[in-house]
Amino acid sequence: MAQEEQPIVPVDPETGLIKFREVVDEKGTQNELFNRCIYWVNDFYANPTRVTTIRDYNSGRIEGKHNISIYTYTNDSAKKQAGTVDYVFNIELKHDKYRYTITDLKIHTKTRTPAEKWLNKNDPDYSPHWDEYLQQIADFFAEWSSSLKTKMKPEVKKTKDDW
């Protein structure tokens, strides 16, 4: 029996759009989690004030827009930039948990083509590079979420060495 091939990136079954989303349980009040998240944003992004569009302390919501570079590799393994992909992230914080959502992936062109185009192997413009691009997106957001989860952990309290 043939099984349907799973996409490289998560696709929302309702919309058919690429969507990275996870709810993470983490100890802390909404305000503590908000502050940790701001520290992460400031650490992760080179220009965090330009990246974030919403930083709402009271509702526990941080939203931002950014982009990632996509590369192709030549036969001699040289890395060449193939373009950029814009994305939107939304982080919602509550007591003892938070949720991140990454959506609206657009290939940075004059028309801002949705990245879901790369999922269609029947497209007349299909290129085998598209799977590589999707894998680069999946790898980037795996690193993105791992970095966020690490930074969202509470600081380990140091015990005083009283000898």
Locate the domains of the chain by residue range: 20-107+130-149
Backbone angles phi, psi at 137, to 5 degrees: -65, -50
Over residues 46-50, mean pLDDT: 95
Residue pLDDT, tens place only, 106-162: 998 878 899 999 999 999 989 989 999 999 999 999 999 999 999 999 987 777 766
Identify the pLDDT of residue 1. Answer: 41
Q: pTM score, two decimals?
A: 0.89
Fold of 20-107+130-149: Alpha-D-Glucose-1,6-Bisphosphate; Chain A, domain 4 (3.30.530)
Cβ atoms of 40 and 122 within 8 Å: the answer is no
- Give the pLDDT confidence score for residue 50 in this predicted structure: 96
Query: Reduced to 3 states, what is the DSSP secondary structure of residue 100?
Result: strand
Cα dihedral 159→42→32→89 (10° resolution): -140
3-class DSSP state for residue 79?
strand
Greater model confidence, 77 or 56: 56
* Other Cβ atoms within 10 Å of 57 Cβ, number: 13
